[in-house]
Structure 1
């Protein structure tokens, strides 16, 4: 199995932490959180197939070999953890990256010591829409998505697209391999963890962007109510990439979760961060 393109930061003796990206972005999407998280964590960030360091055919698998289910993507993450000798690890994921974490927490609970789901969902909507997007990208490439992306990603797209990181993430989307991106769309289409959320035992933080049009906050509420040991934080002034648009609020929520300052509780909920 080809290991995902990834990067390690932080002290070698830090607590293992894996960060998963959202569809269409790269491991750069976590850059605002890295300085704080690497104080006490050995942080591993990875790219989805065809994204970031895997785009353009560099280290990516051939298009017909790309993972087409969240389970297969999760198996690649586990292989990555095994490669680095991590029997257990903390995991945080954005959107599809969160879906991968949800699958791991359900099917490999012994590996996940703590979970954070950022602007994610147990079900990403009707499959037909994702199959349509996959077909569009295979036909016209990911540049066809650039016009609509800022409005999904950011509550203030004009401001955020003018920042270095906002511009970089849009460039990552434009440069993503169409086959890899489409395969990830198909993985999202088939994903539905709603019936098994109660099987998650890891302490879980759920973070929602209050203005997220891609995954509305009601999806976060469903996650929090379905996972027994969970806490919910809504981030004001943020859409889908909440950690990019409101980095301090998301970083604070993550650190509080892992420092035990706000221990998860059933269907817990905090006010807007």
Structure 2
């Protein structure tokens, strides 16, 4: 199956997903950052699908998935993944998430570790306070006449100046996704980040964990990744010379770190 399919969660949200790779390989779930779609992983798919049945999905509020009203939570975003796995009869999978996806990955590692084999947490954080800044962002994105200001803000946070100035096709494609986003999708996910604090509970993650950080990331600082790696038992930390979307800026190095983690034996 190499096209979008859909399933509906218990609260009525339609989630878009797709598979790449042979059906007899171990499943690897990829979870996107805020403001992107499952296509943010395109540069890794050819190589990953040689080893895994890759399952990508659009986080609720993004891409082909429904935009549900109100504040989202990581309990809900994490349950979306569990319900997707249940619907597809997948009892256990590897999981890799970047930024918002990495926050979902932390929730899964804490609250549903029996469903996770290896866990990869990329350019992410366990806490991004204070809450007031997220309330301001929620109000701003909902009140804006369009997504242009939000799009340019995110691009400036996500990529180094040379990529922004080079009229990169990759940057242009991500800009197009940002411009097409429903503001409520942003607002709902902003609320989830606002209300998140997993700084203590990440220590409960029992799964083999790789943390990938961007040396020049100003969104989820390297110190945030260092915190996670220091508190998840046995976690390994890799720091790439990247800004925020490290899988796009340094695809080969990112892939190498992923495969080294995912192809190593798990604890059980």
TM-score normalized by structure 1? Answer: 0.89
- Tell me the SS of whatever aligns to 2:136: helix
Give yes or no for the alignment of 1:89 onto 2:100.
no
Q: Is the 8 A contact 1:121 1:215 kept in 2?
A: yes
CA RMSD of aligned residues (A): 1.8
How far apart, in 1, do the equivalents of 2:179 and 2:161 lie? 20
- Tell me the SS of whatever aligns to 1:220: helix
Aligned length: 255
How far apart, in 2, do the equivalents of 1:156 and 1:61 lie? 32
- Tell me the SS of whatever aligns to 1:53: coil
| CA distance 1:255–1:200, shift in 2 (3 Å) | same
Give yes or no for the alignment of 1:16 onto 2:27.
yes
TM superposition shift of 1:160: 7.2
Q: Of 214, 217, 221, which aligns to 1:216?
A: 221
- Tell me the SS of whatever aligns to 1:147: helix
How far apart, in 1, do the equivalents of 2:230 and 2:255 lie? 23
Structure 1: 5+ residue runs without aligned partners?
Answer: 55-59, 265-273
**1:73 corresponds to which residue?**
77
The 5 Å alignment of 1:135-146 reads: 135-140=139-144, 141-146=146-151
Deviation per CA, 1:183-220: give whole Å up to 9, x if none: 01000111111111110000000000111111110001
**2:209 corresponds to which residue?**
204
Structure 2: 5+ residue runs without aligned partners?
Answer: 1-8
**2:191 corresponds to which residue?**
186
How far apart, in 1, do the equivalents of 2:68 and 2:31 lie? 21
Q: Of 18, 22, 42, which aligns to 1:7?
A: 18
Give yes or no for the alignment of 1:155 onto 2:169.
no
| CA distance 1:201–1:160, shift in 2 (3 Å) | farther
How far apart, in 1, do the equivalents of 2:176 and 2:200 lie? 37
The 5 Å alignment of 1:1-273 reads: 1=9, 2-54=13-65, 60-64=66-70, 68-140=72-144, 141-159=146-164, 162-236=167-241, 238-260=242-264
